[in-house]
Structure 1
Amino acid sequence: MKKLVVLLIIVGIMFVVFQNTSKGKMLTHQVKGVVTHVISKPSLINEEGDSIVTRVLLPEGYTRVTYPNGSFEEYLRNYELKPYGSKIINYDESEYFAQNWHDAILEVPVPKNGLQQCADALMRIRSEYLWNNNRKAEIGFNFTSGHYCSWKKYAEGYRPKIRGNKVSFHKTAATNHSKSNFYKYLNLIYTYAGTLSMYHELKKVPVSEIKIGDMLVKPGSPGHIEIIVDEIKNENGEKMYLLAQGNTPAQSVCLLKNFEEPETSPWYKFEAEKPVYTPSYYFDEAKFVRFK
């Protein structure tokens, strides 16, 4: 009881002091989330579920939006999860300081080189989907400079020569289409692409048209990006979504709780031109982009 009272007092103080600043809003929101976590246990979580579709239950009156078998949408919805209660682990195998933000950890390996941060993790998930579905020729991303770097050319031995914002590609390596070389390619992408390049490269999607696979983004250096991994609707056509993220430092990809709406957490609703609070980030506007 004492713990709960202290936390409620902290929330009140943070609200008064910080409510007029963006950082304050985020801090107040995070403390509020801790209190929510202490007070209530999520009711829409099946602890035995080993995939997103089996871990997260539906609010009353909602059904899952259907997508074709083999689609990126179904790939994400059925993504394998670690056992319930698994922690967010940083690339150096240390535990992330915040362990109350998530309801699931996705089975996305975290390289020990520290490169696979928020945007990188999502590019990896997309690239692995294309690889696994024999669509390797579609794998490619723009560097922050705007230069396109494809897996196809990398596999043929082409490597970038970078001088400031000038990039040229030259054949300096042997042809190698192996999976291990594919992950070396992704390390290159992680180094020279990110949230800002994805925002400029990818199609912008209005909130009214978003679907599984679209990404909530705040462009910048640093910015942040999160991906929709499931989608439901009710008979009135109202939709809700699940969000997953990688983060900085490079760490486990996790399914995020919704501290703003604990009754339906981890499901989110979005409105055009309205801010979005997620446990680790404040988006001042709901902006979305879509992979090619």
Structure 2
Amino acid sequence: MKNFAFYFMKNQIPNRNLSVWIFFILILFLIQNLYADSIQERFPPPKEFKRVNYPNHSFASFLQNYPLKPKGSPVHLFDGRTKTNEVHVAVLDFPLLNADLIQCADAVMKLRAEYFYSLKQYEEIHFKISNGMEVGFPRFVKGERVQVNGNKTHWKTGKFKKGVGRDVFEEYLRFIYSYAGTISLKSELKKKQIPDLKPGDVWIEAGSPGHVVMVVDQTIGKDGQTLFLLAQSYMPSQEMHILKSESKYSPWFEIPKNQTFSTPEWEFPTKEIYEFTN
């Protein structure tokens, strides 16, 4: 397509107009990128606060720089409908499947897996499923798959696709979405203290249903006060989105001071904050 466009410009457009077309194309490029901002670009720290920066290849930095859809975008459900409860201020550029699979815990696991996949650290991509079995992406890479019979599972070999290509990775993720959830996710997380909060941490309540929200950005005030942004998917499967808060710093949340922590669609026990161990 690019070669065709160049040929057309070179052979069909008079030379005197070529510069005009080039200028027009550059303007379109700039406009397109104007709306392709990230979490940290869209949400500067409130006055008197400063963003907490993390190493470039850390999970925290990956989240802070995650791309967003254009301003004003609605949250779409997996079937194309629009989420009616408008609890968001931004929508992550977070492709869904055309099935009700990527809900709250699935979205968190997808972000974690996408982070390691972007670094080609495939051995770090592994999650537990509901019966406690740990399922690692490297075994999918080798051509193995999991056989499910009720609550029993085992690895099997066959004529399955091998490699680290996107198609194998998506097949792996779809399996995880189908057989993991808040209960299995919580079982592999580590409890932590709120003062140590950072992007990548989650508030999680395991159950059927349960819910999980993820910290995706963080700022610190001169007096040491911490603010943070939260993202979630929900039920049914929907695009991950940045939540509004009831704080005067909204959409930034303040560290909860009570025993419960309210988010727009779920109330968590404040102490139920966890982090990934790998």
Give 1:84's aligned residue: 71
Q: 1:265 aligned to 250, 261, 269, which one?
A: 250
Could you give the per-residue CA deviations for residues 139-180 of structure 1, whole angstroms, max 9, x where no partner exists?
010001110000000121222222333221111343512211
Give 1:36's aligned residue: none
Give 2:147's aligned residue: 161
Query: 1:140-219 counterparts in 2 under 5 A?
Result: 140-177=126-163, 178-219=165-206
Letter in 1 for 2:131: S
Q: 1:221 aligned to 174, 184, 208, which one?
A: 208
Q: Which runs of 5+ in 1 are unaligned?
A: 1-46
Give 1:115's aligned residue: 101
How much does 1:271 deviate?
3.5
Query: 1:236-255 counterparts in 2 under 5 A?
Result: 236-255=223-242
Q: Does 1:53 align with 2:45?
A: no
Letter in 2 for 1:174: F
Which entry has the higher C-alpha Rg, 1 or 2?
2
Letter in 1 for 2:57: G
TM-score, normalised by the number of residues in structure 2: 0.83
How much does 1:54 deviate?
1.3
How much does 1:112 deviate?
0.5
More displaced 10-residue stretch of structure 1: 165-174 or 203-212: 165-174
CA contact (8 A) 1:116 1:250 kept: yes
CA distance in 2, matches of 1:120, 1:77: 19
CA distance in 2, matches of 1:248, 1:216: 17
Aligned length: 243
Could you give the per-residue CA deviations for residues 173-225 of structure 1, whole angstroms, max 9, x where no partner exists?
43512211110110000011111111111111121212111111111111000
CA distance in 2, matches of 1:248, 1:155: 30
More displaced 10-residue stretch of structure 1: 199-208 or 101-110: 199-208
Q: 2:263 aligned to 278, 281, 286, which one?
A: 278
Give 2:219's aligned residue: 232
* DSSP 3-state at the match of 1:227: strand
- Cα distance change of structure 1 residues 162 and 255 upon mapping to structure 2, 3 Å threshold: same
- Cα distance change of structure 1 residues 49 and 55 upon mapping to structure 2, 3 Å threshold: farther
CA distance in 2, matches of 1:108, 1:135: 21
CA distance in 1, matches of 2:196, 2:260: 17
TM-score, normalised by the number of residues in structure 1: 0.79
CA contact (8 A) 1:270 1:286 kept: no
CA contact (8 A) 1:91 1:114 kept: yes
Identity value in percent: 35
* DSSP 3-state at the match of 1:125: helix
Q: Which runs of 5+ in 2 are unaligned?
A: 1-33
CA distance in 2, matches of 1:228, 1:64: 13
More displaced 10-residue stretch of structure 1: 211-220 or 174-183: 174-183
Give 2:92's aligned residue: 106
Give 2:28's aligned residue: none
Give 1:22's aligned residue: none
